[in-house]
Amino acid sequence: MKKNLWLAAALCCGLFGLSSCNENTAETVTVPKHIEDQFYMKYPDAKNVQWSSKNGYAIASFYQENDSITDKCSAWFAQSDGFWDMTEYDIPYAYLPEAVRVAFESSKYAASPWVADRDVEILERAGIETLYIISVENQNSSVEMDFYYSADGILLKEVFDDKDDGGLAEDFLPQTPTTSIKKWIDQKFPGARIVDIETENGGTEVELVYEGSVYEILFSREQNWMYSKQEIPERQYVNLPPKVLSTLRTIEGFTDLAALDDVDYYQTASSGNFYCIEMETRFDDDQKVYITEAGDIIEKPVLGGGDGQGVPVESEIGEWITQKYAGSVIVGREYDDGFLEVDFVHENIKKTAYFNGSGTWVLSEWDVAYTSLPSAVLSTLKERYSDYSIDRDDIEVQEYPSGLRYVIEMERGERDLKAYISSDGTVIGEKFED
């Protein structure tokens, strides 16, 4: 699925837009003296200062006499109180904290065909974690990824970048949690380091670092806890519960713990606790499984419903889904391999939509019954694959901006085949597995 996503993203970047970028552009302004005073207290040696205004912030663009900073800096001051909230600037890759460089260079993205930018973006923020953003590009496909690290080398986020987002630094401006949410966090995660707080369609998402792990916590519109997701570091895979490890070893295609790509532990208000485990199988394919603490394999759980509501997502994405899929209810969301996956129920069918880093829709997918396949697809199956045994319980629909295609698995003897067929019966591609 990852390969298909990356291909789709590379093809439709800039062609089919749903953007989460704010349309308001910065305007040149003269700022009040108290804001200017705050600025020069923080940056007394600033040169060539120019002020602009955007979304309730006064933004100072300036240069510093600092060899480690390669370009113009942007400092954000809230117009409501005049206090500094964030500064954005670039540094050469060589000036990164050692822990960040070591962490990145141990990842697959530090080697060919991936190439890292020479400069790294820094988001220094008031009261919360400083972000180090390393951008890489795949020289074979021109796909770009952004990796967000803390100063101690913890990977906080990875995002697919379509290169047309225009810069989303303002999305990471520090926010203050409500009293009830702060109290909950202080009780459950004492001393945690806040990475980001976002209010999305009435709900609140908090990302934090606690005891070396990254957590994503979602609260409903009523500020009730919905779920917590912990990203399990690779070094801790061996310490997964024995029942979970035992179940993993029974899965066809499982090789060893080194083949696990990603492990997340969910604690939820509506669906209990479980592990989401993504791995590369011996069949050179990606597989995602959900295993309870008791070692039972389950279907992908619904995360919403804590208050009888759907899971909140960014308003533009939520509105786009409900417009395209009328009557749908969002029941889950997660970041995986740089994409935002949004689960929703539409016409009593559970579907998943994928969005890149700037909020552009890449594709949607869901399961379909063999008897519901278009007649043209059924004709192709009968004419071209009559000697294959079709897995009628594992047929998937993928909807792209260009239209629908059906992914159908089948076998003949010892040979497995995955066929990709468009709605009009055209075979788009085939993948053979011996």
Chain centre to alpha carbon of residue 413: 39
CA torsion through residues 24, 29, 32, 33, sign: positive
H/E element holding 315?
Answer: helix 315-324
Mean pLDDT of 143-150: 93
pLDDT at residue 327 tops 50: yes
Q: Calculate the CA dihedral of residues 329, 334, 340, 345 and round it to 10 degrees.
A: -20
Count the neighbouring beta carbons within 10 Å of the beta carbon of residue 157: 20
CA 302-313-19 angle, to 5 degrees, is 135
pLDDT at residue 291 tops 70: yes
In the prediction, which pLDDT does 18 show?
Answer: 38
pLDDT at residue 9 tops 80: no
CA 164-167-172 angle, to 5 degrees, is 135
Comparing 425 with 302, the larger pLDDT belongs to 425
Do residues 375 and 333 lie in contact, with contact meaning Cβ atoms separated by under 8 Å?
Answer: no
The whole-angstrom separation of Cα 351 and Cα 345 is: 6
Show the tokens assigned to 82: 């005049």
CA 88-93-94 angle, to 5 degrees, is 125
Mean pLDDT of 32-40: 94
In the prediction, which pLDDT does 176 show?
Answer: 86
Residue bearing tokens 């459950």: 188
The whole-angstrom separation of Cα 240 and Cα 249 is: 12
Collapse the DSSP code of 235 into the 3-class scheme (helix H, G, I; strand E, B; otherwise coil) and give the result: helix
The pLDDT-based confidence of 162 (bands split at 50, 70, 90) is: low
pLDDT at residue 166 tops 70: no
Do residues 177 and 199 lie in contact, with contact meaning Cβ atoms separated by under 8 Å?
Answer: no
Mean pLDDT of 78-92: 94
The whole-angstrom separation of Cα 333 and Cα 311 is: 7
Assign 3-state DSSP to the chain and report helix, strand, coil percentages, each to 5: 20, 45, 35
In the prediction, which pLDDT does 10 show?
Answer: 45
Residue bearing tokens 């990603």: 262
pLDDT tens readout for residues 245-267: 999 999 988 999 999 999 999 99
The whole-angstrom separation of Cα 263 and Cα 336 is: 11
State the average pLDDT for the chain. Answer: 88
* Of 8, 4, 39, residue with least CA distance to 360: 8
Q: Model's pTM, two decimal places?
A: 0.78
Could you report how far apart the first and last alpha carbons of the chain are, in Å? 19
Cis peptide before 32 (omega within 30 of 0): no
pLDDT tens readout for residues 354-396: 998 778 899 999 999 999 999 999 999 999 999 999 989 889 9
